[in-house]
Each structure stands twice: as C-alpha cells, then as structure tokens.
C-alpha cells in the first residue's frame, strides 16, 4: 500500500507557540487523508530560540502547547505528525522531534549532532542526544526513520537509523540560506543518507529570524538520484508517496541558483523583519544612488513606505531627478528636505570651535549625521522603521559615517557586495515588464556627494578589485601573500586589509542585516576591535 507524506514547509514565528500550533493544526485538518506530515526543526517554537531557552517558562509553555497539539491530533486520526520543540529533562535540554498520532505521543527523537559553527551555537543550549535510541516507525509496510538537520551532515545518525530498519529518512530542518547552499544540502543527503540505502524527505523551514533567512527549497531524494524540489522563499507544501520501502519518484531536477535567489532572500528577510516586529512601515533616505535604490525596491510591499531625498549643495541635479523618477515608478511617498539650512547652522555654531582647522572629513560626516537626524525624527514621529542602505563593501572598509548613514533598524544589503548590488539591479530591470531603475542609477560612477566632484574611487580601489580582495580575505581567510598570488597588487591588498581592521568599531555599532554569505558581519564575524595582529 502507498504511504502519503506531506512536506509542510512552514514559517514559524519565534515564541508564538499558539500561532505556530494553529498553522500546524490547520495544515493537518486540510490534509486529513495523508499518512505522515513532516514539519521543520523546532517548528513549534521557532528557530533559533537562542537565550530564550534559558527561560524555563519558554520551554514549559512550548511543551504545554505540544500537549495541546497531541490532544488536537484526534481530529485527524490518520496522520503521523512530526513536530519539533525543545524539551527539558532535569538540567538537560534537548532539541527533539515528537511523533504524534490520534491523541498519543508515539515516539521522540533527540537531535544527536549539535552544530557549533557560523550562526550556530547549539552546544550552548542543548545536550546532544547521543545516548537516545533511533526513532523508526512503520506506516503501511514502509519503515520511516527520523533525523534533525545537522544529523544528516554526518554519517553516524543516518547509519543508526538504517541499522534500526529505516527505509525512508524523514529530516526536520532549519537550514539557513547562503549562496549555493541548496546544492550542498542535496549533496549531503546523497552522501550520508542515500548512499546508505535510504530515500530521503528533507523538510526545511521558510521565513526569517533577525539576520537568518530560511529559504525552504524542501526536497525528496531517492537512492538513484531522483526526486522533487519545492519552491523557495515562501511557505509551501508538497505531497510525496512511498511504497514497499521506497519513495515513488520518477523525475529529476537541477539546481539553478544565482541572482534570483539572492534577491528573493533579501525580500523575504526584510518582509519578515517588518511584519514579525509589527512596524507600521518603512522610511529611508533616497540619494539617487544604486544602494538606496535597491533597498527601496526591496522595501516596496510594506504597508507604508516613505522615501526622503535630502539634498545639499553637493547633490547633483541628476541625483535629484533619478530619485524622484524611481519613487514615482515604485509608487511610494516621496519628500524632499534640504539639509543646507541645518548644515549652515551647524557650521556657524562650530565656527569658533573650528577656527584654525581646514575643511576635511568632519564637514562630510556632518552632512550624513544631519540626514540621520532627519530620518530618525520621521521614524519616531510616524512609527516607521528606518532602513539602512549600506552594502557589504562599504561596511567592510568603513566607507560610512557612524551615527550617519549607518543609522537604522535593519540593513538589508549589509551582506551584499557593491558589484552584487549592481548585478541585482540590472537583473531586476531585465526581468521586469518595465525598467524599475533609471539608466543613470545603473551606469553613473558611485558617489557619496559630500564634497565637490566626489567619487567613491577617490578613496577606494575600484569595486571589482575591492570586492574580489574582500571575498578572498573575509570569506576564504586568505593571507596577504595568498591574495597577492592571485594577482593583486601588494599595496592595494594591504590598504584593503588595513581598512577592514580599522572599521571594526563601526561595524559593531551598525544595524543588523540578513546573512547572505558564509561569512556575514555579525553572527559569523567575531573579531576584536583592539587588535595589533598584522598580516
């Protein structure tokens, strides 16, 4: 007989036990004829709970909600439901999966492998379930095993499930988005699950939690390399079938990753942050440059979006025209507030204090900080979140003003290099029915426009060079000598590395933003500010 399996790629909200439970109940009630429903890792509480785990009331409330779910499962007696939650036993806390059916808790599985790298810090919170028995259960003649996320990145837990009789492994996941991560997941399943003679059902979370994006892309995989993949960056579901110990899959799929995934991840993270933190809308400074243009495009879709152009004497007519045109194309409220009167007032107030000093970065930073004050005032008055518009290239080398353009509640392109910002914007114009970004925004030389005829390249290497060196240094951890061996000039590489180190104090005080790469500033990057180490 065929066993029907529903993959529920859900978006859990951290700490919203009742809301998460109701999502699961609603799904099960609408899939009463299914034999198995699989939800993501810690689906009942949200992931990652971090130090909320240390609050006994958090774990107790989640467990009580799980008990309610067990009782409610009588309403869909046919379904074997797998749901994730933290469970405390004495002083130990485990990351578990409950197997629920028709008002009963049939089994429990404790996560065996706890990741403690990158964004993960699970050994701080959980005890590894190394001494627990595998969970394997029979449905209509097929034996199903259970693993949780990190378990299948190693051979041990799948092997134990196989030895216990598992034929199809059901895997609950909260695997964060990174570029090229989709392919890595499939390769991992093939290596550690399918190669041991099991088919796999991989159910991933979808949504965002602060800096972490869960992209979904749940999938099935058979021993002969076939299966199906779900859509990404949205809550979704898919049905699979098993018979005689195997998944009934006749198709195969290829992974296509690139700009589309990158953009979808940014939109999902921004939307989730706004909605889950109950902001009324968004305000941002629109400069006429490409970074703020992309952030505005990402922000469109929030209940309320306001863009503010704040020109000074150094703002070009092109910037004013392009900003107004972009706001018009995107249909957002657009305001113009000149910083010139405030700037002159500050200069006059500081005239005596600055006597004998020439003009320098102080005057440039002053303009940026005035703009931040204006935007924060609008944010406070109207209850709108200020969206920061800095990219990873600028964050890396400190090409930003502390308490100026670094101000904001969420920095959505914080982990996107400048060259990628251009690539995303070009792609958006290409796939849109009508161009979104005015041509000048895509082609003009980048400039902060804080002094006469200023260009970014006055202070920085060209962005293709800068981004290439940054990727080698930040993400691949290459030394100066190794970077030079890749063909980069010594002085240029040294300058970039010095700038990265010098800017650490700024990054510590900047807003959070979504993790898009394997080395994002924030969760992944933990370098001391006071640091005499030289390459």
Q: Can you list the positions of beta strands (E) in 323-437?
A: 333-336, 385-388, 410-411
Locus of tokens 């399918």: 194
Please say if 149 is a catalytic residue: yes
CA-based R_g, the chain, Å: 26
Question: CA of 37: how far to CAs of 25, 26, 240, in Å?
Answer: 11, 12, 10
Cα–Cα dist 317/371, whole Å: 18
Among residues 101, 110, 111, 418, the one annotated as catalytic is 111
Axis-axis angle for helices 56-72, 17-29 (nearest 10): 20
The torsion angle over the Cα atoms of residues 471, 473, 476 and 481, rounded to 10 degrees, is 130
Among residues 34, 45, 149, 425, the one annotated as catalytic is 149
For residue 493, how far is the Cα from the chain centroid? Answer: 29
For the beta carbon of residue 349, count every other beta carbon within 10 angstroms.
10
- Compute φ and ψ for 460, nearest 5 degrees: -125, 155
Taking alpha carbons only, the member of 278, 289, 295, 290 closest to residue 311 is 289
Tokens encoding 261: 């995934």
Locus of tokens 């970074």: 291
**48 preceded by a cis bond (ω within 30 of 0):** yes
For residues 186 and 160, is the Cβ–Cβ distance under 8 A? no
For the beta carbon of residue 486, count every other beta carbon within 10 angstroms.
12
Residue 225: helix, strand or coil by DSSP?
coil
Among residues 21, 34, 41, 96, the one annotated as catalytic is 41
According to DSSP, the residues that pair with 229 across neighbouring strands are: 219
DSSP for 249-293 reads ---------SHHHHHHHHHHHHHHHHHHTT---EEEE--SSHHHH
Q: 457: alpha, beta or left, given left = phi > 0 and alpha = psi -120 to 50?
A: alpha
- In total, the chain counts a number of residues equal to 535
SS3 content of the chain, % helix, strand, coil (to 5): 40, 20, 40
For residues 504 and 532, is the Cβ–Cβ distance under 8 A? no
DSSP for 181-250 reads HHHHHHHHHHHHTGGGT-EEEEEE-EEEETTEEEEB--EEE-TTS---B--BSS-EEEEEEEETTEE---
Cα–Cα dist 93/110, whole Å: 10
Q: Can you list the positions of beta strands (E) in 40-154?
A: 80-89, 92-101, 104-110, 136-139, 142-148
- Give the distance between the most distant pair of CA atoms in the chain: 89
Question: Which residues are marked as active site?
Answer: 41, 111, 149
């Amino acid at each position: 007989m065929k066993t029907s399996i529903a993959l529920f790629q859900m978006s859990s909200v951290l700490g919203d036990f009742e809301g998460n439970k109701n999502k699961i109940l609603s799904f099960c009630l609408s899939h009463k004829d299914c034999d198995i429903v699989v939800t993501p890792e810690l689906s009942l509480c949200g992931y990652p709970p971090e130090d909320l785990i240390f609050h006994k009331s958090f774990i107790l409330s989640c467990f009580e909600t799980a008990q309610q779910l067990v009782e409610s499962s009588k309403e869909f007696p046919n379904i074997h439901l797998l749901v994730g939650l933290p469970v405390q036993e004495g002083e130990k806390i485990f990351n578990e999966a409950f197997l629920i059916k028709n008002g009963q808790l049939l089994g429990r599985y404790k996560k065996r492998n706890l990741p403690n790298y990158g964004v993960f810090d699970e050994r701080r919170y959980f005890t590894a379930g190394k001494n627990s028995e595998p969970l394997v259960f029979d449905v209509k003649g097929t034996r199903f095993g259970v693993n949780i996320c990190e378990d299948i990145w190693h051979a041990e837990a799948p092997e134990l499930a196989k030895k216990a009789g598992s034929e199809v492994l059901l895997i609950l996941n909260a695997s964060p988005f990174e570029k090229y991560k989709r392919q890595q997941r499939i390769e991992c399943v093939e290596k550690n699950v399918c190669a041991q003679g099991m088919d796999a059902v991989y159910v991933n979370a979808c949504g965002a939690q602060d800096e972490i994006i869960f992209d979904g892309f749940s999938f099935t995989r058979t021993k002969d390399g076939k299966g199906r993949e779900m859509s990404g960056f949205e809550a979704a579901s898919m049905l699979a079938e098993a018979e005689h110990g195997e998944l009934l899959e006749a198709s195969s799929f290829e992974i296509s990753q690139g700009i589309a995934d990158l953009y979808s991840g940014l939109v999902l993270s921004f939307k989730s942050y706004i909605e889950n933190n109950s902001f009324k809308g968004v305000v941002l400074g629109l400069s006429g440059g490409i970074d703020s243009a992309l952030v505005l495009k990402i922000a469109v879709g929030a209940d309320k979006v306001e863009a503010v152009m704040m020109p000074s004497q150094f703002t070009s007519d092109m910037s004013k025209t392009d900003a107004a045109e972009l706001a018009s194309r995107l249909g957002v409220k657009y305001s113009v507030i000149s910083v010139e009167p405030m700037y002159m007032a500050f200069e006059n107030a500081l005239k005596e204090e600055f006597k004998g000093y020439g003009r320098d970065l102080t005057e440039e930073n002053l303009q940026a900080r005035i703009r931040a004050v204006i935007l924060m005032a609008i944010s406070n008055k109207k209850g709108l979140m200020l969206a920061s518009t800095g990219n990873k290239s600028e964050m890396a080398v400190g090409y930003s003003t502390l308490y100026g353009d670094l101000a904001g509640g969420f920095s959505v392109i914080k982990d996107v290099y400048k060259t990628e910002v251009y690539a995303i914007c070009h792609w958006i114009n290409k796939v849109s029915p009508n161009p979104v970004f005015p041509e000048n925004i895509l082609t003009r030389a980048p400039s902060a426009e804080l002094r006469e005829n200023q260009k970014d390249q006055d202070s920085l290497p060209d962005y293709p060079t800068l981004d290439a060196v940054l990727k080698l240094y930040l993400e691949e951890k290459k030394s100066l000598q190794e970077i030079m061996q890749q063909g980069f000039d010594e002085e240029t590489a040294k300058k970039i590395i010095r700038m990265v180190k010098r800017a650490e104090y700024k990054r510590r005080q900047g807003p959070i933003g979504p993790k898009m790469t394997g080395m994002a500033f924030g969760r992944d990057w933990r370098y001391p500010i006071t640091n005499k180490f030289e390459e």
